[in-house]
Structure 1
Amino acid sequence: MDDATQATRIALVDDADAGELLTLRRAAFVTEAQVFGDPNIPPLTQTLAELREDLKRDDVVTIGAWEGHRLVGSIRVELEDNKATLGRLAVAPDMQGRGIGTSLLFAILPHLPEQVTEVWAFTGKDSKENLTMYAKHGFEEHHDDSAGALTYTYLRRVLHEVEARNAG
């Protein structure tokens, strides 16, 4: 089966995939680090041991996208009361622009507890492609926040409000 016809498989990431997940995130976030001129952004400094601890957490869901045996995308969701916070949305550089990030955004929905009504995402303020993708899928810019020299834009999607608007 060639790349064009191979189906993308979406599934939970577990400890057995930790090394590949770390490699994917590092490859995907190098571009982001270059945009901000900071090689020390958290996705690039997280250790394998820290990643494995994160995967064990009950309040975190990590979902991956595979093409054959290769992990080509992932998203991390942290759950807290009625809120889910997306982070570390990563797509392998050679696979970007094929809808994998969008597929992962929608793949989180079945993993959200019923009480979750808001999904938050954040990305670098200058990450125009990321901001455009989130806006296209119902996320609205909410506020900016600085962490050291970096400024992040926080976006919010209210699940029931957006779904009601789209149904009407």
Structure 2
Amino acid sequence: MSEDQVRIDVVTADHVGELLTVRRAAFVTEAQLYNDPNIPALTQTLEELLVDLESEDVVTLGAWEGARLIGSIRVGIEGDKATIGRLAVTPDKQGQGIGTQLLFAVLGHLPESTKEVWVFTGQNSKHNIALYNKAGYEHQFDQVAGDLTYAYLKKVLEAGAIVDDDADNAVRGDN
């Protein structure tokens, strides 16, 4: 599948059921990694997800292949800070660059005043940490929450340039 066959757009309440299904399918491997079936991405209800989608401080993007939702990413916005979470790609589409596309696409949906973007993932999720490092996020600290330890990574955005030059060039084909 080539990247131009994937459409990235804002997820609306019309797709809440699909979104919940994508997240649950994607996060099962995380639950297995941590031997914890109660991670937040797996316990969020349809009603809670709907409230989240309708929040003015949250942007959720989806990746579609035709009519099928195959990935999503959520970003919460607080002042000049954005926090990415719930990056999910369906198991059959993982490893094809969809997560990376979503990670870069979300930058274009942030307010111009955004100065830094944070992301967190389980400390043992080495694949996720590598993905974030490759996208320019740097490890800042770890934090224990119950039985899990989360790694927090940050990307500082340049004023007026919220999309990476490399990603922009790749989209335009300039490199």
Give me the TM-score of the superposition, normalised by structure 2.
Answer: 0.89
Aligned pair partner of 1:133 in 110, 128, 131 = 131
Instruction: Give the 3-state SS of the residue equivalent to 2:88 in structure 1.
Output: strand
Instruction: Give the drift of 1:36.
Output: 0.5
Classify 1:40/1:157 alpha carbon distance in 2 versus 1 (closer, same or farther; 3 Å).
same
Runs of 4+ in 1 over 4 A off after TM superposition: 3-6
CA distance in 2, matches of 1:6, 1:108: 17
2:87 paired residue number? 89
Residues 14-68 of structure 1: CA deviation (Å, up to 9, x unaligned): 0010000000000000000000010000000000000000001000000000001
2:11 paired residue number? 13
Instruction: Give the drift of 1:109.
Output: 1.5
2:74 paired residue number? 76
CA distance in 1, matches of 2:133, 2:123: 13
CA distance in 2, matches of 1:91, 1:48: 18
Could you tell me which runs of 5 or more consecutive residues in structure 1 were left unpaired when the two chains were aligned: none
1:45 paired residue number? 43
Classify 1:6/1:83 alpha carbon distance in 2 versus 1 (closer, same or farther; 3 Å).
closer
Residues 56-103 of structure 1: CA deviation (Å, up to 9, x unaligned): 100000000000111000000000011000000000001001000000
Instruction: Give the 3-state SS of the residue equivalent to 2:158 in structure 1.
Output: helix
Classify 1:5/1:81 alpha carbon distance in 2 versus 1 (closer, same or farther; 3 Å).
closer
Give me the TM-score of the superposition, normalised by structure 1.
Answer: 0.92
Could you tell me which runs of 5 or more consecutive residues in structure 2 were left unpaired when the two chains were aligned: 166-175
Structure 2 residue 22 is matched with structure 1 residue 24 = yes
Structure 1 residue identity aligned to 2:99: G
2:157 paired residue number? 159
CA distance in 1, matches of 2:148, 2:3: 39
CA distance in 2, matches of 1:65, 1:48: 19
Instruction: Give the 3-state SS of the residue equivalent to 1:108 in structure 2.
Output: helix
User: Aligned pair count?
Assistant: 162
What's the RMSD between the two structures over aligned residues?
1.6
Structure 2 residue identity aligned to 1:107: A
Structure 2 residue identity aligned to 1:8: V
Identity of aligned residues (%): 60
Instruction: Give the 3-state SS of the residue equivalent to 1:119 in structure 2.
Output: strand
